[in-house]
Structure 1
């Protein structure tokens, strides 16, 4: 039997990744935020197209984002409770980073590949935030697909939100991650 290999700090971070929805100030700022963004810029990106953009909402920007979300909820006839909750949704964290796939015309790299790159950026930022002592949660939902919301954020018809990364300081100790799932259940060998 082979000797067990101790996981490195990076592997331990990946194996203990957890979303944290209970977030408060402080959010990452200055050099810490730049490090998180640098992690996003290092994701797999065929042909180095950088097919993404990041819209950062904090402080008053969270209220502006909430107003945009409320307008989208009203415009799409969402139930009254959704319309009422929408303005406060961004305030669940001190910072929301809206990650947008912004595909570039390319003969080799299809739009879907470029959207996957933007999705990888969300994961990289969440992992970097956690490594730096912050918490985060990648939120999605119908807002991601609402074209009116996209227009209010000045996105083009070709651009697509791939996630809302809520970031801040965890307000509670997270329980240990669940016991490892048997990876073999999800593997198929050819």
Structure 2
């Protein structure tokens, strides 16, 4: 494994506050091209991304408020200069179920967030119940075979940000072996306790 990739993944964090700087469309094209290399059963490419900049974010704010039954415009989309809507765009397939296609779209979004972070941009993936609302779907031009999975909020990393490191996970709790029988489960548990 490439050490720079491992370190980039370990250093990744969510940036809830960002500056007004943002990657250009051309810069995004390069990163999206790389992110699209995620595992994709039958190469269906069941995803698409939508850039929201400037006044598009205000339009999203109005759609969010409409979805919530409120008047005016939510300021949530103004928290970053660039929002990238992540859309699962399901394809008809006898081999690839819907959940697997959604996993591909999520994988693209996650890899893109890693690439953006490594390129020096602050990123956070935001969701909300309104991602499934008619008003927000209409704004994004979604059709009946598409679902909005949220937005990557992207901007510059603030110079004076607190750089707390995320606590690492205990991989032993999440990586196990397939037990052969009930007796094997007891041995695996006992071995894990010894480590």
Q: When the two structures are superposed, what TM-score results if normalisation uses the length of structure 2?
A: 0.83
Partners of 2:15 and 2:36 lie apart in 1 by 23
The 5-angstrom pairing of residues 74-93 of structure 1 reads 74=69, 83=70, 87-93=74-80
Gaps of 5+ in 1: 75-82
2:60 touches 2:136 (CA, 8 Å); kept in 1?
Answer: no
Q: 1:54-109: per-residue Cα shift (whole Å, max 9, x none)?
A: 111001111111111121111xxxxxxxx479521100000110100001101111
Work out whether 1:182 is the aligned partner of 2:177: no
Aligned to 2:57: 62
2:62 touches 2:72 (CA, 8 Å); kept in 1?
Answer: no
Partners of 1:18 and 1:39 lie apart in 2 by 20
Shift, 1:37, TM fit = 1.4
Which 4+ stretches in 1 moved above 4 angstroms?
A: none
- 11, 14, 17: which one pairs with 2:12? 17
Work out whether 1:170 is the aligned partner of 2:165: no
Classify 1:84/1:175 alpha carbon distance in 2 versus 1 (closer, same or farther; 3 Å).
farther
Q: When the two structures are superposed, what TM-score results if normalisation uses the length of structure 1?
A: 0.85
Q: Does 1 or 2 have the higher relative contact order (CA < 8 Å, sep 6+)? A: 1
Aligned to 1:151: 138
2:50 touches 2:84 (CA, 8 Å); kept in 1?
Answer: yes
Partners of 1:84 and 1:182 lie apart in 2 by 46
RMSD after superposition: 1.9
Gaps of 5+ in 2: 179-195
1:20 touches 1:174 (CA, 8 Å); kept in 2?
Answer: no
Answer with 1 or 2: which has the greater Rg. 2
> Across the two proteins, how many residue pairs are aligned to each other?
177
